[in-house]
Amino acid sequence: MRGWVDAYERAWREDDPGALGALFTDDVRYLRSPYEPPLEGLAAVRGFWSDPTPFTLDAEVVAVDGADAVVRAEVRYGGDEPQEYRDLWVLRFADDGRVEHFEEWAYWPGRPFSASAG
């Protein structure tokens, strides 16, 4: 699992959409948020993934149960407008070791996280 996370970071850092085929199945469902429509298929993920902004990523594998895994990530972007967020990834792996379902639960500092908050 840690190897997959490291390969994901490498592909993102090197802005290498071609490396995504080793990480995700051709028919992957990639949810950028649990409330957004998923990206369907590897071509859609490749189109979304181009982001040359410098970043740091600290990731920790929280749980693995069979084909399912959860990763906690903290991302900090540099550039003209620095920003950071924390993220949970919910992953389901296919038999070949690539991810067939990727779901993000991202949280940004200073944004409300309860139903009663503004």
What pLDDT does 63 receive? 98
Answer yes or no: is pLDDT of 117 > 70. no
Instruction: Name the residue with higher pLDDT: 64 or 56.
Output: 64
Which residues have CB under 8 Å from 7's CB, separation 6+?
19, 22, 23
Give backbone dihedrals phi and psi of 26, rounded to 5 degrees, phi first: -60, -30
DSSP state of 115: T
Q: What is the mean pLDDT of residues 58-83?
A: 92
Distances (CA, A) of 45 to 19, 24, 25, 113: 11, 9, 11, 27
What pLDDT does 88 receive? 96
What pLDDT does 74 receive? 95
Q: What is the pLDDT of residues 19-52, one digit of tens each?
A: 999 999 999 999 999 889 999 999 999 888 776 6
Mean pLDDT computed over every residue of the chain: 89
**pLDDT band at residue 17 using 50, 70 and 90 as cut-offs:** confident
What pLDDT does 54 receive? 81
Pairing mode of beta strands 39-40, 55-65: unpaired
List of domains in the chain = 2-107 (3.10.450.50)
* DSSP code string of 9-50: HHHHHTT-GGGHHHHEEEEEEEESSTTSPPEESHHHHHHH--
DSSP state of 117: -
What pLDDT does 112 receive? 65
What pLDDT does 118 receive? 52
